Amino acid sequence: MTWTVPGLRPGAVAIVTGAAGGIGLAIVRSLAAAGVRLACWDRADANLERAVAECGLAGAEGLAVPVDVTNREDCRTAARLSESLGPVRYAVNCAGIDRLRATVDMTDPEWREVLDVNLSGVLYCCLAEYDLMRSRGGAIVNIASMSASVFNRGALPHVGYNASKAGVVQLSRCLAVEWAGDGIRVNSVSPGYTRTAMTDRNPTELNLALVANVPLARMAEVDEIAAPVSFLLSDAAAYITGHDLLIDGGLTAW
Ligand code: NAI
């Protein structure tokens, strides 16, 4: 179910990276339902047509923007393209990858790949978005993870992922302070286990073991992540910046 959040500005433009993925697509749907126009960023080989089609279904304008977020120049070009929809007010940096591997078995390219996409990618997107927002203000939400705060009990070693997501939380806090004077709020959202292609790739026994640690005893649905993201972008969250919102079914409560 797509939740429509009050306090978003109809006709405003939002950038969503990772827009073809599970959580990104749900965020696109949630914003489009509020009349926000969407610049949908994802890799050139991703299914961006689907994201644009979802915007059309909601009666909102959508634009497919192929980009590799690990390439700083690519992000700048994508930002310029996005402006063709109008002044950009919102951005959600959601593109991310995961590589499951015990730390001692991890290769250097695997470590770098995860940090490049999940941490440098978020930085490059934020910088490109800042250029678009600095004269008018705006709101950015970076998608981190519950894995920024805990080791994933139930055997999910992925130190590069966890370290990159902890970096996203702290990066977001720093940008919130640096850019407050420009009227730009920056927050992060840290989802717990959420049903998407990322978790569908896990063996069933692993997913069962992970859910056994969740007080609400299930994974999140993507729309349950998208609605709080929309809230943080909206004027209803006008006094919230530098915050990390955990959406984890209670996992980190015990
Ligand atoms: P997904 O795999 O469905 O979507 C990720 C998207 O990022 C894909 O469309 C992919 O093409 C895109 N992407 C990857 N590398 C890229 C690059 N270099 N340039 C541009 N786009 C790129 O994954 P999901 O589950 O929707 O995850 C979205 C975000 O939420 C990720 O940052 C992930 O780490 C985070 N997250 C997911 C959780 C889950 O349980 N599914 C839990 C916590 C956080």
CB of 65 closer than 6 A to ligand 1?
Answer: no
pLDDT value of residue 254 = 84
Mean pLDDT of 211-234: 97
3-state helix, strand, coil in the chain (%, to 5): 50, 15, 35
Q: Please report which confidence band the pLDDT of residue 27 belongs to, taking 50, 70 and 90 as the band edges.
A: very high
Dump pLDDT digits (tens) for 200-218. Answer: 988 899 899 999 999 999 9
Active-site residue numbers? 161
What residues contact residue 225 under an 8 Å CB cut-off, 6+ apart?
Answer: 23, 26, 27, 189, 191, 194, 247
pLDDT value of residue 155 = 60
Asked if pLDDT for residue 170 goes beyond 90, the answer is: yes
Give CA 140 to chain center in angstroms: 10
> In angstroms, rounded to a whole number, what is the distance separating the alpha carbons of residues 85 and 217?
41
Burial code (b: 16+ CB inside 10 Å, e: under 16) for 30-48 equals: bbbbbbbbbbbbbbeebeb
Report how far apart, in Å, the C-alpha atoms of 54 and of each of 59, 129, 159, 184, 213 are: 9, 23, 35, 28, 34
pLDDT value of residue 93 = 99
CB of 145 closer than 6 A to ligand 1?
Answer: yes
CB of 228 closer than 6 A to ligand 1?
Answer: no
| Packing angle of the helix pair 48-57, 22-33 (nearest 10 deg) | 20
| Burial of 154 from C-beta contacts in 10 A (0-12 / 13-18 / 19+) | middle
Nearest protein CA to atom 44 of ligand 1, as residue: 145
Dump pLDDT digits (tens) for 132-156. Answer: 999 999 999 999 999 999 998 876 7
**Cβ(134)–Cβ(194) under 8 Å?**
no
Dump pLDDT digits (tens) for 176-204. Answer: 999 999 999 999 999 999 999 888 988 89
Dump pLDDT digits (tens) for 52-97. Answer: 999 999 999 999 999 999 999 999 999 999 999 999 999 999 999 9
CB of 211 closer than 6 A to ligand 1?
Answer: no
- Report the separation in Å between the CA atom of 63 and the middle of ligand 1, taken as the mean of its atom positions: 19
pLDDT value of residue 202 = 87
- Pick the atom of ligand 1 nearest to 70's CA: 18
